[in-house]
Amino acid sequence: MDNENRDMYLGMVLDERYELQECIGSGGMAIVYRAMDMRLNRQVAVKIMRESLANNEKFRRRFQTESRAIAMLNHPNIVSVYDVSRSDTLEYIVMELLNGETLKQYLHPRGRLSVREMLQFSIQIANALSHAHGKGIVHRDIKPQNLIVIDGGTIKVADFGIADLQSEVPDVENEAIGSVHYISPEQAKGLPVDSRSDLYSFGIVMYEMLTGQLPFDGEDDRDIALKHLSAVAKPIREIDPKIPKELERIVMKAMATSPGDRYQTADELAADLEKFRRSISAAFEAPDGSVVPISSNGELNRESYLRRRRRSKLVSMLSGIFGVMVFILALGIFLWNYWLKDVFSVNERITIPNFVGSYYDTIINSKSYHNDFHFNLTYEIDPDVEKGIIIGQDPEPGKSYMLTAEGINVDLTISTGVLMTQIPDYRGMEYQEATSEMEKLGFSVEKLYVSSNEVELDHIVDISPSPGEMLPAGATVYVTISAGPEETTVIMPYLVSASRSDAEEQIRSLGLKLVSVSEVYNNNIPAGCVVSQNVEAGTEIPVGSKIYLQVSLGPQVTPSPIPTEVPEEGE
């Protein structure tokens, strides 16, 4: 958006409700205004998408869907989204207006944070991610620039879902899916991401808060992205040995290269952070690793420390004696079970038969095995083996065991064959909810969009194969989703210099919606005539599109000074 367009939006009232008062920020995707919500009499932030994005139909659909999902988030550490709306050329969201600074700005003069302040921020961020992930929303661009610090030490996460929207428009200036310094390895590979990708990026933010530096840097974005895939970050305690070992472990686990080695949920990470915070609120880790009490004024109590050390030595000695006794007992049990019991026992020894390849029902109902074995069962999908046939066993056949009164334990793995599942009827259901349900059933879902006058936007029109049919696990279900009614379009007329009444009549006759008329002084256009229109003449636009006009007040007149009367002589 250029400066002329920004000036044009100022003073406009969107949806007869949001008056744009001041530009407070801009970026590659959007420009942000401070606005007044005239209905609720409160200040809000309005983020208007770039015109090039608003004109991209695929982006518009994704923007509407993602924004509605984000608006469902309600958490004290997430920037609230109040409203989502659109016109023929405008896509915008209305958000909570915050007075604060980004975490990046907050870190700049400080370099790094204390352990306690880092924990205060990190626990809030983890709780925010837990709430969003629980709603099925992944941020995809966690970085200090998207974390807002406000008065009182509260931190809020902003711009949920925006990074994913960027993938729909490849020509967004200077934008990428996730900032390269905080991008997860799976993002760097271009693979699908889940909530664990947010935890990796959050781990790098925690690393930066503690050390004042980033774990990976390089000559260019490609070099940095490759380091996320293969390099190992410098351990935090090598940068600052005073950082507690447990806190280093938490951060490095969040930053694990493989998603399977990271925290699997934000709840797990938040729990470890909170547990560590509680541990340091009443204790101090001494150089020898022992936990030393802290006096009420925060200084170490020497007498308590020495008493704890003496107690520790006594406990260590008793623990050693106890450990020796446990070892002797364990050795005795081992010798009895694996040697002495056989020497003194006359029980029968049984050789484990080969159960693999047999039907489980045949084995379990056989009198030959009924008293000798105790079977533990697990089931496994194997499309190549008929349902009910044993495909694995432990112990292996041929091994010999002493028969006991309880029978010999044998673990059997049984084939379920091809697991078939019936397709439920999700027609008419909101597609995100239906997709989630189908994925839980084990189906892979492919989405198609069609215009529909009968089915609501973003709701399912049809499913293929048809509901009620049986499909094997992992099969693909094709879901057709409503893109809304097919739009009727009109050509925008040229209204500049037309009288306001004529312009309003033309707009009304075409089925367009006149949303706002603002008045400006103009030396070239007569008063009461149109100065500008938000949609260029000749543009094909949908019926019902919102139109904004500026009408001339005529030239601004400077009043002439009133002459002062001079009293006549003699008065």
DSSP string, 225-262: HHHHHH--PPPHHHH-TTS-HHHHHHHHHHT-SSGGGS
Cβ–Cβ under 8 Å, residues 447 and 479: yes
Q: Which amino acid is at 67?
A: S
What ranges in 264-351 are assigned the alpha helix state H? 266-281, 302-335, 341-344
Q: How many CB atoms lie within 10 A of CB 159?
A: 23
Of the residues 7, 83, 141, 361, which is catalytic?
Answer: 141
Query: Which residue has 């310094």 as its token pair?
Result: 181
Cβ–Cβ under 8 Å, residues 469 and 422: yes
Q: Is 141 a catalytic residue?
A: yes
Q: Which amino acid is at 502?
A: D
> Phi and psi (nearest 5°) for 472?
-75, 155
Which residues fall within 8 angstroms of residue 466, CB to CB, at 6 or more apart? 423
CA distance 177 to 532: 37
Closest CA to 13 of 566, 556, 559, 549: 549
CA distance 86 to 70: 16
Q: Is 25 helix (H, G, I), strand (E, B) or coil?
A: strand
Find the angle CA(122)-CA(123)-CA(128) to the nearest 5 degrees: 95
> Phi and psi (nearest 5°) for 333?
-65, -40
CA distance 492 to 525: 21
- E strand map for 61-201: 81-86, 91-96, 100-102, 147-150, 154-157
Closest CA to 424 of 400, 446, 440: 440
* Residues with active-site annotation: 141
